[in-house]
Amino acid sequence: MVPLIVFLVGICLLSVFTYNTNVQIQKDRRTIAKLNAVTYGQRIENDIENGIEITDTLKQVLINGNGQIIDFSKIAENLMSYSIQSVQLAPNGVVTEIYSEEGNEAGKIDLLKDSKRGEISNYAKDHNTIITQGPVELKQGGSGLVVRNPIYLEDENGQEYFWGFTIAVLRVPEVFEDSTNALSKFKYNYRLLREASVLDKKHVVVDANCDKMIRPATYNLTVGKEKWKLEIMPRAGWSNSTTLYLIFFGGLSLVLLLTGLTIVLFLLDERRVELKELAHKDGLTKLYNRYGFDEMAVKMISKNPKEHCVAVLLDVDDFKLINDMYGHAYGDKALISLAENMQKLFPSSALLGRNGGDEFCILLSNCTMEEIKEALIEFTKTPKTFSYKGQTYSFCISLGYAEYPNNAIERSQLMRCADAALYEVKLHGKNGCMAYKEGLQSGVRKQLGFVLNDISENLPGAFIIYRADKEDDEIFYANKEFLDMAGYENLDAFFNGTKKSFRNLIREDQQKAVEASIWNQIESGSKNDYIHYQLRRQDGTYIPVLDQGRIVESKRFGRVFYVLFMDWQAIQSHYSEKFNAKDVR
């Protein structure tokens, strides 16, 4: 009887264990699938947003050109990539410019009156919102997504009027094929869906590698105002039949070896903990990732709903320049250094996380904005550094914060308030710390300097942008070609060397005359000024330059100068018969 009892008990235990193992395998696979859905869903979201940004770039060029684009084909050529089928302009809703035009001539239509595109195009126009259509079949083969961005400009009376659309046609699946190929490589079935339009909430399939999904892991994307959805599941299903058979029949012969079963359970539990850690922590900084931070923040607030706490958002100023000048490996070093500073300064009870890229988040419990203000200011102003080829380089951060429950009672709204304060700091020159206050709008982005980073380095010529104020000018931006001309290693060195003042670029004995000449030209009614003088370089030497400036009005910054610099000696060498400019002495 004892062997029978042992056998029966062993069979029962083995049956229970096999069942639990199956549940655990499904749970682990679902956890991993959810993590992959989040990871690749965010990548797909970024890929689509990058495609949409092409229309924003054209929009900015139109704004700067007062509704005109000079040499559209050249600009469009620079914007094209493997995943872009074409770039188009539609003044007053009529497509007139298409790059590349070959094979796309049939696309020159009146979007507002077209039977297939009119309703959604008029919606985009009336609501001033970006819309996408598709997938649509392309005559060149394959499918595509059509992005239309309505453009509103101001006339000479300051009244907004509808200019038309900037349009980009994105190839599907090329626009996000790195992510979908990775899912296929990892043996996942996937299906990417989107709302048919903002007028039709029914989901349509954009891309898929299978016909049927069984209880898929889902990640919801937001592209503009449209809702997208990524569904994935393991190609072999949620269970692993081979593993289950091996466990059962192997366990049947080892039913008396209870120690072996204990080891298996331990290994499974250890694997579960490991997967949970991977799902919640950022691999680079070891702080919570966005998913883990959000989950912990909700628990933290709900545990003591009446207790005040402060949410903080911060990012690295000009982080793209660090990556561009020193490489992504050293950009990672800067992020690791910043994470270590956060861990040193803030108490162990603080919730620290990395949202992604160079953006970090903090939740400080049991405190108010007034109580934590000095500590946040100290953290913002404390020098932060990273090493590059044996030398130490510094970088700065911008920081915004908001208080629960005074500013918001929901975690997501609280973070949006901190985000609004962060970008208000950006609007005031970066490297600062600001508390949220009523009136700040979340999502505001500083246009000067940020949008130009990706364009300016490829435009011929050295230029800067600065606030046009006789008494208190401030340089906002300088491209790399100007930094090279003036002998500066990077933008931070340039800002430090000039104290962000345009007049500090002019030889001392010429400053008054140059500034007087510029303002005389502007005050005479011209939007442009031309002046020749000696430009001061970082090493104290001077080079003669021709300065061509244009003054524009900005809603947020008042009058702003866009200034192009040309090497005077090069001009004289190549165009001596065309130019006869006088030096200002």
The strand ranges marked E within 286-379 are: 309-316, 351-356, 359-365
Instruction: Put residue 483 in one of left, alpha, beta given phi > 0 → left and psi -120 to 50 → alpha.
Output: alpha
Q: What distance in Å separates the CA atoms of residue 481 and residue 190, rounded to the nearest whole number?
A: 45
Helix (H, G, I), strand (E, B) or coil at 96: coil
Q: What is the mean pLDDT of residues 7-23?
A: 85
pTM across the whole model: 0.41
Q: Which residues contact 526 (CB under 8 A, 6 or more apart)?
A: none
Q: How far apart are CA 41 and CA 33, in angstroms?
A: 11
- Whether residue 350 has pLDDT greater than 60: yes
**CA 10 vs CA 14, 18, 244, 245, 254: distances in Å:** 6, 12, 16, 16, 9
Range 138-157 average pLDDT: 89
pLDDT of residue 446: 42
pLDDT value at residue 447 = 43
Tokens of 474: 């401030």
What is the reported pLDDT for 8?
86
List the beta bridge partners of residue 314.
Answer: 360, 399
In 428-474, which residue ranges form alpha helices assigned H by DSSP?
453-456
Residue 252's pLDDT is: 84
Contacts 24+ apart (CB under 8 A), 387-393: 387/333, 388/326, 388/330, 388/333, 393/326
Q: Which residue has the higher pLDDT, 378 or 198?
A: 378
| Structure tokens that stand for 211 in this block | 């016909």
Residue that wins the pLDDT comparison between 117 and 579: 117
Residue 580 Cα to chain centre, angstroms: 47
Q: Which ranges of 401-456 would DSSP assign to H, the alpha helix?
A: 411-427, 453-456
Q: What is the mean pLDDT of residues 14-34?
A: 88
* Residue 537 pLDDT level (bands cut at 50, 70, 90): very high
Domains recognised in the chain with CATH numbers: 1-280 (no CATH), 290-435 (3.30.70.270), 453-575 (3.30.450.20)
- Mean pLDDT is lowest, of 37-41, 321-325, 467-471, for 321-325
Residue 243 has pLDDT above 90, yes or no: no
Average pLDDT on 323-332 reads 85
3-state secondary structure of 398: strand
The per-residue pLDDT of the chain, averaged, comes to 86
3-state secondary structure of 366: coil
Assigned token pair, 88: 């188009």
Peptide bond connecting 173 to the previous residue in cis, omega within 30 degrees of 0 = yes
Rounded to the nearest 10 degrees, what angle do helices 2-64 and 177-185 cross at? 170
Asked whether the predicted pLDDT for residue 328 surpasses 60, the reply is yes
pLDDT for residue 582: 45
The pLDDT tens digits for 431-462 are 899 999 987 764 444 443 444 455 566 667 89
Instruction: Collect all residues with Cβ–Cβ distance below 8 Å to 459 and sequence separation of at least 6.
Output: 479
Q: What's the confidence (pLDDT) of residue 520?
A: 92
Residue-by-residue DSSP string for 149-190: EEEEEE-TTS-EEEEEEEEEEEEETGGGHHHHHHHHHTTEEE
The string of pLDDT tens digits covering residues 293-317 is 999 999 999 998 999 999 999 999 9
Rounded Cα distance between 160 and 176, Å, is 35
Report d(CA 224, CA 98) in Å as an integer: 24
User: What are the residue ranges of helices labelled H in 80-176?
Assistant: 118-127
**Percentage of the chain exceeding pLDDT 70:** 91
* Residue labelled with tokens 């209870």: 258
Dist CA 543 CA 487 (whole Å): 11
Report the pLDDT value the prediction gives residue 584, as an integer from 0 to 100. Answer: 43
The pLDDT, as a whole number, for residue 448 is 39
Across residues 9-23, what is the average pLDDT?
A: 85
Residues 106-128: tens digit of each pLDDT: 678 899 999 888 899 999 999 99
